[in-house]
Structure 1
Amino acid sequence: MTSSTPQVNPTFDLSSCEQEPIRTPGSIQPHGFVLALDATGRVVQASDNLVQHLGKPPAAVLGGTLADAIGAPAAAALQPELQDERVRERPSFAATIRLSEKDHCCFDVLAHRYDTLLMLEFEAMTRAGAADFRHLYPLVGDFLQQLNDSDTIEQMSRTAADEIRTVTGFGRVLVYKFDEEGHGHVLAESNDGSLPSYLGQRFPASDIPKQARELYAANRIRLISDANYTPARLVPPVNPLTGAPNDLSFAALRSVSPIHLQYMRNMGTLASMSVSLMVKGRLWGLISCHNAAACHIPFDKRTACEQLGQILALRITSREDADELQFRLEVRRVMVSVLAGLTQGADFIENMGSVFPELLQFARAGGAAVAVDDRILRYGDTPDESQVRALIGWLDQHTHGDLYHTDRLVEHYLPAGAFLHCASGLLAMPISRIHKHYLLWFRPEFVHTVDWAGNPHAKEAPPDAPRQLSPRTSFATWRETIHGRSAPWHPGEIEMALEFRTALLGIALERAEQMAELAEELGRANKELEAFSYSVSHDLRAPLRHIVGFSDLLLEAAGNDTLDKRQRFLKNIKESARLAGKLVDDLLSFSQMGRASLRPVRVNMNELVRSCVDKLTLDTQGRHVQWHVGDLPEIVADPTFIQLALYNLLSNAVKFTSQRDPAIIRVDGRRDGTETVFDVSDNGVGFNMDYVHKLFGVFQRLHRMEDFQGTGIGLANVRRIVERHGGRVSATSSGGHGATFTFTIPNTLPSA
């Protein structure tokens, strides 16, 4: 292993870290060597430090076999481990070999296939025997047990940092998480005191360029044994099979950026190792290990650390999912409470005002406002009404999505500087696409300090200096006070707010449908009222006119007419008064049908029909009427209402068969799926089916009153009674050959 004199903060002639070829550096770290084989097993590339490790230059092995390069015994020991199915794109342990009996130095050999080559990496080891992975299993078991006893991600991270420092012997182990902006926040630290503590501090996102983060996500572990190393170049410098620079993304010995090496030296660390924490497919954070002196960690210990990192990532996933679920359940519970309150009254904005406390709890806000047309209701700590109106005007012009949210409103809307104390954060929900209807939540300013490991805003060179890149030199704690921001909006809050908006629109749509249905119902009721008023005035006028007319005749003929004539006048007066009284009684009955509550019980329909027939005895005296009543099934219904409907149907049958001898009236019933069907048939005069749609309306008659007397309300009562039970009523006839009236009663009545 070679080491050069430490360099002190050089500058690097690079235009940007993003262009640095970190995947194809063309070199490796010198604590090992590399041999690259083609498909035939020939060595086609080697690192230029073979002289130090094998005592021969690269030219001596290129084109030869593996046995030619490392000796037949070592090659024979390796060969069984290099089968195609065993070697993949990520390095795996192949064997620990000794190149000669006299040589006491062993090499751990790692193998992987990538970039069309079989890459063999030989890492020099000081131990005498092969790598021993047996300690990995109890280590993992103990670690899992300790994680199970941890409640928070910080506690789990602290446990992981302690375990990995024990395994590696590094002086400081950090566990840090990347925030939404890419800054690293140190959650846990295990430190032996040889290096400064960074616990709780932040590292700016610029410390790890985008392409480096992508590489961290692809290759989960990376070791730098000595930041002062001199790279060993590959010979030839490009992949001989592709003609392009070798992609060493998964090589354990891959050389790293000279900028990063200087970064390490500036930090006072000569050895480092990082383990990627992947949570749900994204780079959540890193376990970052540092040591003040050069230090090599063998593959078996690196494997143990990688396993611990994977276990920690899984537990972080589980903990975050559980916390997220609990958070969403709580927000949803509040949302359900709010929605329940919004359905209590007809005035939307007043309803919204009644649930303001729950709205604040829903969004963890300090204030809220609802704007509908020119009305604005505010609750809690909010901007004044004029400021809210101006903000809504800005939102209407500049935001067009289903939701707008920011934790730094003043950066987007400069007038917000006047009310930072109550509205540094804003969650705005448009309720209408056409009108300025908004629901707004405000979060107050959250003034807080952030401790950075060095000033992230410091300039390394004046603005007019040539564009060169060098890593920052200071990692001393630099405290920044953050103004003009609120607590950030949680992704779960945003999703729940979108769901809340959908529910609000659903309530508004339901209200609109109810209003439309009510308008339609009112229109229908107005038409029925007009017809009702006309019929009442017409039908009541006739008997009343008769009463007045015959009374006048009686007065004019007082003492002059015969007794028979006066009796005829009095009879007509009595009959007209009776008809008017019956009309009023039927109207009252029809009105009661819509208001009275049903009292359903089990009803014997055969007994009900017999009682109706008995009541009709007076109307059938002197007539030949044949009653045919089948075996009727029982139903569950209000017996009083059903008896009235049956009586009306049977009375109609008796009336309209008055010209038949014999009159034949049938009553039948049957079960039909979920309902019971009843038919009342007669052989009377029937009716014209062209007017069947009028049959069940109030005061609708299809025959002249002179031929068949009646008020025209009976069948309307039948329909109302049947429909109150959730059933249907219909009628069929062929004029002059009788009629059949059918009504159904559900086997299970609808709820009231």
Structure 2
Amino acid sequence: MPAISSPPPLNLTSCDQEPIRIPGSIQPHGFLLALRQDAPDVIVQASDNLAALTGVALEQALGQGLPVVLGVAAAQLQAELAANVIGAQPSYMGTLRTPNGRHFDVLAHTHDQLLLLEFEAVARVAPPDFRHLYPKVGNFLLKINDLQDIVEMSDLAAQQLRDVTGFGRVMVYQFDRDGHGLVLAESRAPGYSSYLGQRFPASDIPRQARELYRLNRIRLIQDAHYAPARLVPPINPATGAPNDLTYAALRSVSPIHLQYMRNMGTLASMSVSLMVKGQLWGLISCHNETPLPVAFEQRAVCEQLGQILGLCIETRTDAAELQFRLEVRRTMVSLLAGLSQQADFADSLRGVFPQLLRFARASGAAIVADNRVLRHGDTPDEGEIHELVQWLAESGQQDVFHTDQLKSLHAPAARYTRNASGLLAISISRIHPHYLLWFRPEVVHTIDWAGQPQAKDGPGQLTPRLSFDTWRETIHGTSAPWHDGEIELATEFRSALLGIVLERAEQMAELAEELGRANKELEAFSYSVSHDLRAPLRHIVGFSDLLLETAGTEDQEKRRRFLKNIKDSARLAGKLVDDLLSFSQMGRAALHPTRVDMAELVRGCIQKLGLDIRDRRIEWDIGKLPIVRADPTFVQLALYNLLANAVKFTGGREVATIAVSATEDENETVFHIADNGAGFNMDYVHKLFGVFQRLHRMEDFPGTGIGLANVRRIVERHGGRVWAQSTLGEGATFSFSLPKNIAIE
């Protein structure tokens, strides 16, 4: 048998380092036996109070089977163990009588390769009768379902647990975001001091203790004056490390906590964890001025009541959270709908300042764009806001930044804590330091602590608090906290704003492109007026002068030639004016889409071109053309211009070949007009569809230079596109597409 040794000394210089999971001992109102999971017939570890509770010496038990300690009751326990699946949480295995005549409730669980059996001494001689306890659970369920307020539900739970257990004081408290516990409800017997409305500092329950509360949902200390019973041997025989007693009901607790209880005047305590969405929301804390045993069946009921309260808190919290988020979302939707279409986005936001304040429940708001600061409500001054935004940009704060203690992060903010202790800021540009800021004012408030948090006995050493007298603290420099829903919806609002900004930018880019195109067309128009239109007018004037000079002569042939030139020049000027009017009409007239038979449209255009063709030899190759949805008048004009173009530029061919074909997919139909004419240089294809742009001399191929510009405008207004391919001297192919789901302007 291994020698009995003392557990290692505790390092009490840091709460977070205190080994509360591996205390090496248990509370002495019960004993513990450990068996290996892979060999559950041999006791490999036991608590050193075994002889005191059973009369069996520790040396007799180690290395032996359960009958050595339990006698005939071992068979009953082994049958229960075989009939149940034993997990990490302790399970009740029954109430057994040991050979010395004492009775114990047996709890079993497995951990670290051991089967741990805990035997809690009880006064009764039979298993617990749950029939008297479960009606309390049913009654609690009926009552709590009628309550909506979390404080009222907590008050009911405190009363119910005190009734079940007999503790002198039962408190329900909630942890805040800093880990401090606020007492929401309390039920107490006469003579017990009240902690209702007070806070217990986070240091009272260090980090590793909170983790234990999350894993093991109930913990009992029967007597704060107990002397712990050590485990022998002190090291887990299966792992070679100290025993992890996380889930053990008898686990010994920190000696510092025991002193804490004694300082508080509490000799017995029980804690029930309140879990909400998998997180430790709070505790039900039970205190008694004298030692108090709480049997397993009572603890089981208390644990169930805690689970019910946690579920009800989660349900009510979710409902309140949903209602809050719906209200904020309604405000956000209203706010976005109220944004005007002004070109200046900051001015557009300024128009919804009241909604912005309501959205974030703020007292002031500001928009910072470039060097402009637009303010509304109670805010810092313009210079302070500029300096604040510079800090946000330089410190690499996230897209959505929030704090309710601005001065603790940004020292200059101490100058304006009155109106800006809280800040919610969103960046509304990915490039520039543009921000939307909300400010919340300082809320001076007081906190009643259950004893001064700093009141410890001895510097440097981990010690319990000595005083639990009410200590009042006044808090300055903080605002009302930002709600999680506000932060999440502010992130969503930012995405919506960036979408609007991007859409505006795209609209401005499109407008700039259109303006650029219009400017080029205007330049071309100016050139055309000064050149193309002036030429026929000069001809008209010149030939009119010649006609006047020959007025006295009898040379009729010359006069007729002069009149013909005047007529042709006038006709050309009129054609130019007509084409300009037609081009202008393309941008203004409404489209009236309907079913259009493209084959019939092509036949009509060819027939109309008859006068231009006359006796020329043209071979037409008209493929199978589909029916499309478009404006027939405008599409016919586009087709006519393209076919007329093909007829004109094949004028130098002995036999002209012009082909019309179509291809289609699920999105669009594409038409191609190919010819074997003069073609053009592809280096200048970008000029092809511009107003008054010619790639050939007017003397070779006369025209106004407006036809292809008309084609482009018509096709683009239908939501399609137009392009061309050519090899100079070998012909050209002009193509345009029409979408199948046409979106008409």
TM-score, length-scaled by structure 1 = 0.87
Are 1:710 and 2:709 counterparts? Answer: no
Following TM superposition, by how much is the alpha carbon of 1:225 offset from its aligned partner in structure 2, in angstroms?
Answer: 1.4
d(CA) in 2 for partners of 1:280 and 1:157? 17
What does 1:57-456 align with in structure 2 at a 5 Å threshold?
A: 57-71=57-71, 73-83=72-82, 86-100=85-99, 103=101, 105-133=102-130, 140-239=137-236, 244-342=241-339, 344-398=341-395, 400-431=397-428, 435-456=432-453
SS in 2 for 1:359: helix
- Change in 2 beyond 3 A, CA 1:397/1:707: closer
- Change in 2 beyond 3 A, CA 1:139/1:561: farther
Look up the equivalent residue of 1:93 and give its one-letter code. Answer: Y
Look up the equivalent residue of 2:523 and give its one-letter code. Answer: E
SS in 1 for 2:173: strand
**Residue 40 of structure 2 contacts residue 115 of structure 2 at CA under 8 Å; is this kept in 1?**
no
Are 1:580 and 2:573 counterparts? Answer: yes
- Change in 2 beyond 3 A, CA 1:278/1:573: same
Partner residue of 1:570 out of 563, 577, 581? 563
What does residue 485 of structure 2 align with?
492
- Change in 2 beyond 3 A, CA 1:567/1:476: same
Partner residue of 2:638 out of 636, 645, 651? 645
**Residue 686 of structure 1 contacts residue 733 of structure 1 at CA under 8 Å; is this kept in 2?**
no
**Residue 689 of structure 1 contacts residue 732 of structure 1 at CA under 8 Å; is this kept in 2?**
no
**1:582-601 Cα deviation digits (max 9, x unpaired):** 11111111122122221223
- Change in 2 beyond 3 A, CA 1:333/1:561: farther
SS in 1 for 2:291: coil
- Change in 2 beyond 3 A, CA 1:712/1:240: closer
What does residue 32 of structure 1 align with?
30
Look up the equivalent residue of 1:180 and give its one-letter code. Answer: R
- Change in 2 beyond 3 A, CA 1:530/1:44: same
Structure 2: which 5+ residue stretches go unaligned? Answer: 1-9
What does residue 54 of structure 2 align with?
54
Moved more, 307-316 or 428-437: 428-437
**Residue 174 of structure 1 contacts residue 190 of structure 1 at CA under 8 Å; is this kept in 2?**
yes
**Residue 687 of structure 1 contacts residue 702 of structure 1 at CA under 8 Å; is this kept in 2?**
no
SS in 1 for 2:589: coil
Are 1:43 and 2:43 counterparts? Answer: yes
Paired residue total: 733
- Change in 2 beyond 3 A, CA 1:565/1:326: same
What does 1:338-737 align with in structure 2 at a 5 Å threshold?
A: 338-342=335-339, 344-398=341-395, 400-431=397-428, 435-457=432-454, 459-461=455-457, 467-603=460-596, 608=601, 612=605, 615-616=608-609, 619=612, 633-652=626-645, 673-676=666-669, 685=677, 687-688=679-680, 690=682, 693=685, 695-701=688-694, 705-706=698-699, 708-729=701-722
Moved more, 344-353 or 579-588: 344-353
Look up the equivalent residue of 1:256 and give its one-letter code. Answer: V
Moved more, 431-440 or 147-156: 431-440
**1:654-688 Cα deviation digits (max 9, x unpaired):** 65677789988776778764445556677x75535
What does residue 747 of structure 1 align with?
740
SS in 2 for 1:42: strand
Following TM superposition, by how much is the alpha carbon of 1:236 offset from its aligned partner in structure 2, in angstroms?
Answer: 4.2
d(CA) in 2 for partners of 1:67 and 1:543? 126
Following TM superposition, by how much is the alpha carbon of 1:107 offset from its aligned partner in structure 2, in angstroms?
Answer: 0.9
- Change in 2 beyond 3 A, CA 1:732/1:190: same
- Change in 2 beyond 3 A, CA 1:642/1:402: closer
What does residue 3 of structure 1 align with?
none
**1:66-102 Cα deviation digits (max 9, x unpaired):** 211221x1111111233497333332111211124x8
Look up the equivalent residue of 1:422 and give its one-letter code. Answer: N
Structure 1: which 5+ residue stretches go unaligned? Answer: 1-11
d(CA) in 2 for partners of 1:733 and 1:125? 103
SS in 2 for 1:288: strand
Moved more, 190-199 or 132-141: 132-141
d(CA) in 2 for partners of 1:396 and 1:691? 47
d(CA) in 1 for partners of 2:699 and 2:542? 19
d(CA) in 2 for partners of 1:518 and 1:230? 85
SS in 2 for 1:345: coil
What does residue 6 of structure 2 align with?
none
d(CA) in 2 for partners of 1:330 and 1:570? 82
**Residue 172 of structure 2 contacts residue 283 of structure 2 at CA under 8 Å; is this kept in 1?**
yes
d(CA) in 1 for partners of 2:133 and 2:482? 41
d(CA) in 2 for partners of 1:446 and 1:147? 34
Look up the equivalent residue of 1:556 and give its one-letter code. Answer: E
Please give the root-mean-square deviation of Cα atoms over the aligned residues, in Å: 3.5
**Residue 342 of structure 1 contacts residue 355 of structure 1 at CA under 8 Å; is this kept in 2?**
yes
- Change in 2 beyond 3 A, CA 1:60/1:267: same
**Residue 591 of structure 2 contacts residue 744 of structure 2 at CA under 8 Å; is this kept in 1?**
no
Moved more, 666-675 or 282-291: 666-675
What does residue 21 of structure 1 align with?
19
- Change in 2 beyond 3 A, CA 1:177/1:741: same
- Change in 2 beyond 3 A, CA 1:550/1:135: farther
SS in 2 for 1:301: helix
TM-score, length-scaled by structure 2 = 0.88
What does residue 9 of structure 1 align with?
none
**1:495-518 Cα deviation digits (max 9, x unpaired):** 333343344444444444444454
**1:322-363 Cα deviation digits (max 9, x unpaired):** 433433343344334444445621112212211211221222
**Residue 717 of structure 2 contacts residue 744 of structure 2 at CA under 8 Å; is this kept in 1?**
no
SS in 1 for 2:311: helix
